[in-house]
């Protein structure tokens, strides 16, 4: 009898020790990523104090043979679109951008999230400073990405340090975004360049949060109606029967579709990884704001498609789902971070949300490991490694990206909130 009791005590002690070790490991990864994030963000903010610039990425080069292999098509098909290879002395150096770059809002947004996660007042001071640098973007009308630029910066400022000035900036920016909406087409115009008559990219779904924000602030239905109509038109025309998305749909002036293509993917009918992430994030947000079940169903369909079609062993997708499945093919950590953030929110809205939570948790923990998450003082001051900006253009291939960091921190915040 005594022997049985002793064995039981040993077994119980071993189980408790294992549980304690598991809990310590769980705490350790969260503490580690926050420690690194605070260090990287503070260091970068201080380095750029006098520059009036924002960190965007790190210069990486490319080899033509590698791009041809990834694109699986002749060089002449995409050669004219290639960015110039950076000079050798630039490799590994930060790419900086000004206030009118489409990514300018992500660094201040990351500072806001890091402040929210840690309570570090120095981060708040830097978040305010870098957000205020974007003030004149409120007058900018030549880019649909003013939603990204201002909602990620001023939108987070509104949550964490609200003021009438911040509200005014967001409303004025939303007015300019509405100015790009065409009633006949039912969409907000994306680019002002290229061969298209009226291009709309799947990324544009991410700008709708700004309009919903403006609606909440003003109760003016015009913002709500533009956002809903854009989402409905995009749902009708951007998606294939299997819920994969084109990158670009261009419209004729009468609202009919001019052409469909995938500008940053392997080919026009391929499945560009970040585009799918933009889609599930955008429709999840639309359901949150409208409770329109069409948007929830669309978000779930896209999410289920992602879980089916991403076949890498750790669920971090290749830059395009149809890219060669080899060890040399770049992953896109930015797509994984956006997906993780979207899935965490979707898990709280969908009837069977648990599967989206577990998938997001797996992505977040994987991105937090050393082969994707930087050490202090490395990776150009960014958090995540191994993202892809636009491989067909030779731009930011296997590089850190400021928006990968932003959505990683957003996902981390959502995840930790769900643990409370």
Known catalytic membership, residue 328: no
Known catalytic membership, residue 332: no
> What is each CA distance from 192 to 51, 180, 199, 247, 358, in whole angstroms?
28, 10, 8, 16, 40
* Tokens linked to 170: 């967001």
Q: Which residues pair with 58 in a beta bridge?
A: 94
Query: Which distant-in-sequence residues (6+ apart) come within 8 Å of 398 by Cβ?
Result: 60, 330, 386, 387, 388
Q: At what angle do helices 354-367 and 333-347 cross, to 10 degrees?
A: 150
* Tokens linked to 15: 């189980």
β-pair type (257-261, 248-251) = antiparallel
Give buried/exposed letters for 46-83 (b at 16+ CB in 10 A, else e). eebeeeebbbbbbbbebeeeebeebbeeeeeebeeeee
Which residue in 101, 145, 320, 332 is the catalytic one? 145
Cβ–Cβ under 8 Å, residues 75 and 64: yes
Residue 167, SS3? helix
Which residue in 35, 89, 203, 209 is the catalytic one? 203
Task: Return d(Cα 52, Cα 419) in angstroms, integer.
Answer: 38
Query: What positions carry a catalytic annotation?
Result: 145, 203
């Amino acid at each position: 009898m005594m022997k049985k009791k002793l064995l039981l005590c040993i077994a119980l002690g071993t189980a408790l020790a294992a549980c304690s070790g598991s809990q310590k490991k769980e705490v350790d990864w969260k503490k580690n990523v926050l420690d690194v994030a605070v260090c990287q963000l503070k260091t970068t903010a201080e380095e750029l104090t006098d520059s009036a610039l924002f960190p965007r990425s790190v210069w990486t080069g490319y080899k033509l043979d590698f791009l041809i292999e990834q694109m699986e098509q002749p060089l002449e098909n995409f050669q004219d679109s290639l960015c110039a290879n950076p000079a050798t002395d630039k490799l590994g150096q930060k790419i900086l951008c000004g206030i009118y770059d489409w990514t300018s809002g992500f660094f201040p947004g990351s500072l806001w999230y890091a402040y929210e996660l840690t309570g570090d007042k120095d981060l708040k001071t830097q978040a305010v400073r870098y957000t205020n640098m974007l003030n004149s973007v409120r007058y900018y009308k030549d880019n649909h990405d003013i939603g990204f630029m201002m909602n990620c910066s001023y939108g987070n400022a509104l949550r964490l340090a609200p003021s009438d000035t911040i509200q005014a900036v967001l409303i004025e920016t939303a007015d300019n975004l509405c100015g790009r909406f065409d009633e006949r087409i039912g969409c907000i115009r994306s680019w002002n360049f290229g061969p298209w008559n009226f291009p709309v990219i799947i990324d544009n779904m991410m700008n709708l949060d700004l309009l919903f924000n403006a609606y909440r602030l003003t109760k003016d239905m015009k913002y709500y109606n533009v956002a809903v109509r854009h989402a409905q038109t995009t749902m009708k025309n951007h998606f294939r029967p299997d819920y994969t998305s084109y990158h670009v749909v261009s419209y004729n002036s009468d609202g009919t579709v001019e052409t469909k293509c995938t500008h940053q993917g392997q080919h026009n009918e391929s499945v560009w990884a970040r585009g799918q992430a933009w889609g599930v994030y955008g429709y999840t947000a639309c359901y949150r704001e409208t409770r329109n079940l069409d948007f929830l169903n669309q978000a779930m369909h896209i999410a289920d498609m992602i879980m089916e079609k991403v076949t890498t062993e750790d669920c971090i997708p290749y830059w395009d789902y149809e890219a060669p499945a080899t060890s040399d093919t770049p992953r896109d950590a930015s797509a994984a971070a956006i997906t993780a953030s979207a899935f965490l929110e979707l898990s709280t809205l969908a009837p069977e949300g648990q599967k989206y939570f577990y998938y997001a948790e797996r992505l977040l923990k994987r991105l937090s490991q050393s082969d994707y998450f930087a050490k202090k003082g490395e990776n150009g001051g960014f958090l995540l490694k191994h993202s892809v900006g636009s491989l067909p253009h030779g731009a930011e291939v296997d590089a850190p990206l400021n928006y990968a960091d932003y959505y990683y921190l957003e996902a981390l915040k959502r995840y930790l909130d769900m643990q409370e």
